[in-house]
Amino acid sequence: KQEVTQIPAALSVPEGENLVLNCSFTDSAIYNLQWFRQDPGKGLTSLLLIQSSQREQTSGRLNASLDKSSGRSTLYIAASQPGDSATYLCAVRTGGGADGLTFGKGTHLIIQP
């Protein structure tokens, strides 16, 4: 059974810092991996999707890498801003068919102004 772990569970940094969020998964036979952002009491916003054949994806100040063989992904946030404060979730899709996602517990990020 796929398990997803995110480290750290919480992180608080001053505005402007670059930071890295980590995600690991136990079954490396994934179809793709997605990073999401969740604001308190809200739904999920998709940030980046990395297919199993890809090594990284970039969107603005966000960069996500994938090392499938070692079961790891990182989300890099450059020049953090207070608006980046949210919970960041990592999720993997293990099957290529009609499979749902397996989520980590998330990293609760606070960017101090």
Partner 1 sequence: GAVVSQHPSWVICKSGTSVKIECRSLDFQATTMFWYRQFPKQSLMLMATSNEGSKATYEQGVEKDKFLINHASLTLSTLTVTSAHPEDSSFYICSARALGEQFFGPGTRLTVL
Which 15-74 positions form the footprint of partner 1 (CB under 8 A)?
Answer: 32, 34, 36, 41-46, 49, 51
DSSP letter (8 states) at residue 84: G
Least distance in Å: CB of 1 to partner 1? 9
* Stretch of residues binding partner 1 (CB under 8 A), selected from 20-28, 56-64, 65-73, 97-105: 97-105
The DSSP line for 68-111 is TTTTEEEEEE-S--GGG-EEEEEEEE--SSS--EEE---EEEEE
- Contact set with partner 1 (CB under 8 A): 32, 34, 36, 41-46, 49, 51, 89, 91, 93, 98-106
